[in-house]
Structure 1
Amino acid sequence: MTAPTTRSSAPLDDDYFARRALRRGAAGSFLLAGLGVSFVISGDFSGWNLGLATGGWGGLAVAFVAMGLMYSCMVLGLAEMSAALPTAGAGYGFARRALGRLGGYATGLAILVEYAIAPAAIAVFIGGYVESLGLFGLTSGWPVYLACFAVFVGLHLVGVGEALKVMLAITALAVLALVLSAVGMLPHFEVANLLDVPATDAAGASAFLPFGYAGVVGALVFAIWFFLAVEGVPLAAEESRDPARDMPRGIIGAMAVLVVTGLAVLVLAPGGAGAQLVGASASPLPDALRAVGSDRLAVVVNYVGLAGLVASFFSIVYAYSRQLFALSRAGYLPTWLSRTSSRGTPTWALVVPGVVGFALAAVVEDGDVLINVAVFGAAVSYVLLNLSHIVLRVREPGMERPYRTPGGVVTTGVALALSCVALAATFVVDVRAAVVTAVIFAAGLAYFLLHSRHRLVATAPEEEFALLAAAEEELR
């Protein structure tokens, strides 16, 4: 057997890929859908409501529709690409084939920024949650941050099948908390409560849009919280049983659930307690329940709702490890990061970002700042992912596609346009996050241009897909 080689002259070991093998067949479509929901579920418990203070209920509702349409269209494109190109690189692999090495790496880097920083933000939120509940007598968040990374990275090291099942159970608890909250708020719903934010003198201001058109733009970033990270499902492609069938079912199923849960939260919480109150709350669902007199239920949702944050933390740890694994296996990042254990888990790709995430949480201790950096990275990746689908459809119409996106490039064209709007909105909302993300990108791209582009592993799955496509193009 010939040893795989990189683009440099140095050969790799014969067992290079044997030491970088994930566990196949660990996830079916149901577990994949659960993974997609768990990525996002924490966004239903907090964060989204800040959009009420920025755009009023009407502004956030319009933003919800716009971002829901963007994610729905993008998910349909991802379903096609993940079925046709089922690798752990997911977005990096799709863009690698469509946009070349630099475009693929930039997409993978954007996704990695999103998934590596989001757990640090969520750990800060969990720490604040634990402190506010008075659990364990803690007065500082750092022990909680440490426990989160140690316990949940440890569970992932045990094995992907076991980790996904634990994650599914935690996600089920979080969904139960949402159902209980909806049941508690439904009898108190009044349309007038949605529109209790006074109208300003901004352009286009009204009872429905109290902050005018600018309020809609400002609310876009918070509407993203209802769906942020669902695009991570294709990262499990190499560990699914039948990617051609399971990946489309999993990611589309997850998106369908998230639209329902997001809409229920958006309508019922402010519809029962008032948009003003919910928009100013740090824990909107329990506070909304208390406002309508459901104190006991608020306590239950407060405790069970912690599962939502834990579920997202747990699942995003999985996501960052698979994206880092794929970029490392292909040589874009140091290859030792992609080594897997005897249980088929990428040890260093789990541990190293975990250490970095804990350090960020402990030093920054500002979840809003961290999550805005993650959102900015996500928005960059959305532009590149939708562009990749369009390029592949136009340039490779004959590529085998077990699932085809309804509407084709029109669908992802809508997603591309809306993702550009979302990217612009994230810059407007938090310039500091944009600058931090730009610095990370500059460092990452410098590493590629000066070092790793000369050491890529040509026989890595994502690279092979792209090279085969190039060879077929030359034969035409």
Structure 2
Amino acid sequence: MADQPNIHVHGADYEKVDASYFEHRQLRTGAAGWVLLAGLGVAYVISGDFAGWNFGLKQGGWGGLLIATILMAVMYTTMVFTLAELSSMIPTAGGGYGFARRAFGPVGGFLTGTAILLEYAIAPAAIAVFIGAYTQSLLGVGGWPIYLAFYAVFVGIHIYGAGTALKLMFLITAVAATALVVYVVAMIPHFSTANLFDIAPTTAVGASAFLPFGYIGIWAAIPYAIWFFLAIEGVPLAAEEAADPRKNLPKGLIVGMLILLFFAASILVVGPGGAGSATIQASGNPLVESLEAATAYGGGTWISAFVNLVGLAGLVASFFSIIFAYSRQLFALSRAGYLPRFLSLTGAHKTPWVALIIPGTIGFLLALTGEGDLLILVAVFGATISYVLMTAAHIALRRREPGLDRPYRTPGGILTSGIALVLAITAFAAGFLVDLRVVLYAAGFYAVMVAYFFFYSRHHLVAQAPEEEFEAIARAEAELGGG
């Protein structure tokens, strides 16, 4: 096909490449069934149960964080049902970029993929900061040596092979989930309703013991409530490495979400209820600190030591799995020509080694700032942009292409994705409330990426890339029909 003319459509130019291009860009297929995919979904998120969510107490109090969490639980649940349908239709490594690309053309696909990349490149850096806090508490060692060691080891495991990485990730996630169950059981006897409301009310509009920071606190707590669920949407990125993706991606997404809902509800109630919202509102290690608080156990015990030790597995699971996610998103965008094509090169083990190493290096440098809470917000801001575009893509495809093969159909159809869209817009707007640096950093990243796209990559897209090929086929058929 290399000698055929290029295609110009929707303001983009598609180049034909020969077979050797894809020979150097292959992933290992059939590496994951639905159980591993559900484990991957939980692994993406489980660190959010160990640290990060509690900063929402500082913004909205327990009541504000509770309402924000309920809203985000609804958003993620409806979005997961939406993504289950989209992933069964378009099972490619591009994930959300592929969905938006089909619905909105190359510009929409690129903007969505870039938002997802911002989320997944930043989130491991935030998690690395929390890992450093845990190891400092546990071993007396934290900071850059820990960040470097974790990035080097886990990027290396991913380079070695996806099958090995996913199985190890599943084991680590199971251990972390065990720690959460132990924590919840240990805290239940020490629960007191008064502990939930021990943050003094301010003078804000609507302030009360339930909403100490008033109504605005609900909105401000949303970015931290998202941390209970952030990145579950990354499961479709494993499409090309999954066995029977049209069936297993929806199942993995839904089962993973159900597990996350259980943990979010449990942690939000027993953590502040056992130790006090004020005690853990600014903690980098809230589960351990809540166990050791006077209202719980009056000092360190074997349970707090166990949760600290095994709880590190939760942070590791998310850190490990999101490395997988950013590499597959970068791989897909690069393979299709949106980003420099060398980023999608795969090695002997059929893993995208360049797409693993470069974002890992950047993430390590970001972790050196030590600002885990700020990095969370940047990751959340990128995520909410992608949520708006992906849920809108579902609505657009349901209306414009009702005849597409849909092995799984979203319950409620566009009503379900419409609810997710409205809440995603709300979550996006909340990102402006907490720290304006978040918007500036995200805008700077987008400015660089969009400039690259409009001035260069949109003229050099790859016609045969899985997420793009349908466009080339449709164009060719239209030309034949016209002839």
User: Residue 226 of structure 1 contacts residue 262 of structure 1 at CA under 8 Å; is this kept in 2?
Assistant: yes
**Within the alignment, does 1:17 sit opposite 2:19 as a pair?**
no
**Within the alignment, does 1:310 sit opposite 2:316 as a pair?**
yes
User: Residue 220 of structure 1 contacts residue 422 of structure 1 at CA under 8 Å; is this kept in 2?
Assistant: yes
The residue number in structure 1 matching 2:269 is 267
Q: Deviations over 1:319-343 (max 9, x none)?
A: 0000000001000111111111122
**Within the alignment, does 1:226 sit opposite 2:232 as a pair?**
no
The residue number in structure 1 matching 2:128 is 123
The code of the aligned residue for 2:257 comes to: M
Distance 1:281-1:75 versus aligned 2 partners, 3 A rule: same
User: Residue 4 of structure 1 contacts residue 12 of structure 1 at CA under 8 Å; is this kept in 2?
Assistant: no
**Within the alignment, does 1:412 sit opposite 2:414 as a pair?**
no
The residue number in structure 2 matching 1:349 is 355
Alpha carbon RMSD of aligned pairs, Å? 1.9
The code of the aligned residue for 2:204 comes to: A
**Within the alignment, does 1:31 sit opposite 2:33 as a pair?**
no
Q: CA deviation at 1:265?
A: 0.2
The residue number in structure 2 matching 1:210 is 212
SS of alignment partner, residue 305 of structure 1: helix
Moved more, 392-401 or 294-303: 294-303
**Within the alignment, does 1:251 sit opposite 2:220 as a pair?**
no
| Equivalent of residue 426 in structure 2, options 421, 425, 439 | 421
The residue number in structure 1 matching 2:237 is 235
Q: CA deviation at 1:373?
A: 1.3
User: Residue 31 of structure 1 contacts residue 164 of structure 1 at CA under 8 Å; is this kept in 2?
Assistant: yes
The residue number in structure 2 matching 1:65 is 70
CA distance in 1, matches of 2:415, 2:103: 17
SS of alignment partner, residue 398 of structure 1: coil
The code of the aligned residue for 1:308 comes to: G
The residue number in structure 1 matching 2:87 is 82
Query: In the comparison of the two structures, how many residue pairs are matched?
Result: 472
SS of alignment partner, residue 79 of structure 1: helix
The code of the aligned residue for 1:298 comes to: S
CA distance in 1, matches of 2:71, 2:290: 25
The residue number in structure 2 matching 1:327 is 333
CA distance in 2, matches of 1:385, 1:325: 19
The code of the aligned residue for 1:177 comes to: A
CA distance in 1, matches of 2:20, 2:195: 63
| Equivalent of residue 459 in structure 2, options 444, 454, 458 | 454
Q: Deviations over 1:305-360 (max 9, x none)?
A: 11111111100000000000000100011111111112211111111111222222
Q: CA deviation at 1:127?
A: 1.9
Distance 1:206-1:468 versus aligned 2 partners, 3 A rule: farther
The code of the aligned residue for 1:401 comes to: R
Q: Deviations over 1:68-94 (max 9, x none)?
A: 101111111100000000000010000
The residue number in structure 2 matching 1:465 is 470
Q: How does 1:261-410 map to 2 (within 5 A)?
A: 261-291=263-293, 292-293=296-297, 295-362=301-368, 364-410=369-415
Q: Deviations over 1:395-438 (max 9, x none)?
A: 11111000000011111111111111101101111210110110
Q: Deviations over 1:430-454 (max 9, x none)?
A: 2101101101001101000000111
CA distance in 1, matches of 2:74, 2:332: 29
| Equivalent of residue 48 in structure 2, options 38, 43, 68 | 43
CA distance in 1, matches of 2:60, 2:15: 56
The residue number in structure 1 matching 2:96 is 91
Q: Deviations over 1:260-300 (max 9, x none)?
A: 00110000111112222122433211111112116221111
The residue number in structure 1 matching 2:442 is 437
The residue number in structure 1 matching 2:137 is 132
CA distance in 2, matches of 1:6, 1:289: 63
The code of the aligned residue for 2:421 comes to: L
SS of alignment partner, residue 37 of structure 2: helix
User: Residue 321 of structure 1 contacts residue 346 of structure 1 at CA under 8 Å; is this kept in 2?
Assistant: yes
Q: CA deviation at 1:129?
A: 2.1
**Within the alignment, does 1:104 sit opposite 2:104 as a pair?**
no
SS of alignment partner, residue 16 of structure 1: helix
The code of the aligned residue for 1:174 comes to: A
Q: CA deviation at 1:470?
A: 6.3
User: Residue 130 of structure 2 contacts residue 285 of structure 2 at CA under 8 Å; is this kept in 1?
Assistant: no
- Where in structure 2 are there 5+ consecutive unaligned residues? 8-12
Query: Normalising by structure 1, what TM-score?
Result: 0.95
Moved more, 145-154 or 459-468: 459-468
CA distance in 2, matches of 1:4, 1:151: 44
- Where in structure 1 are there 5+ consecutive unaligned residues? none
SS of alignment partner, residue 461 of structure 1: coil
Q: CA deviation at 1:143?
A: 1.3
Q: Deviations over 1:78-124 (max 9, x none)?
A: 00000000000010000001011001000000000111111122122
The code of the aligned residue for 2:412 comes to: G
SS of alignment partner, residue 271 of structure 1: helix
CA distance in 1, matches of 2:201, 2:125: 36
Distance 1:3-1:147 versus aligned 2 partners, 3 A rule: farther
Distance 1:228-1:10 versus aligned 2 partners, 3 A rule: closer
CA distance in 2, matches of 1:9, 1:87: 19
SS of alignment partner, residue 284 of structure 2: coil
**Within the alignment, does 1:199 sit opposite 2:205 as a pair?**
no
User: Residue 118 of structure 1 contacts residue 374 of structure 1 at CA under 8 Å; is this kept in 2?
Assistant: yes
User: Residue 102 of structure 2 contacts residue 109 of structure 2 at CA under 8 Å; is this kept in 1?
Assistant: yes
Moved more, 101-110 or 270-279: 270-279
CA distance in 2, matches of 1:315, 1:28: 16
SS of alignment partner, residue 212 of structure 1: coil
The code of the aligned residue for 1:169 comes to: L
Q: Deviations over 1:56-75 (max 9, x none)?
A: 11111100000010111111
CA distance in 1, matches of 2:277, 2:364: 34
The code of the aligned residue for 2:190 comes to: H
Distance 1:6-1:112 versus aligned 2 partners, 3 A rule: farther
The code of the aligned residue for 2:316 comes to: V
CA distance in 2, matches of 1:314, 1:305: 14
SS of alignment partner, residue 125 of structure 1: helix
Q: CA deviation at 1:187?
A: 1.0
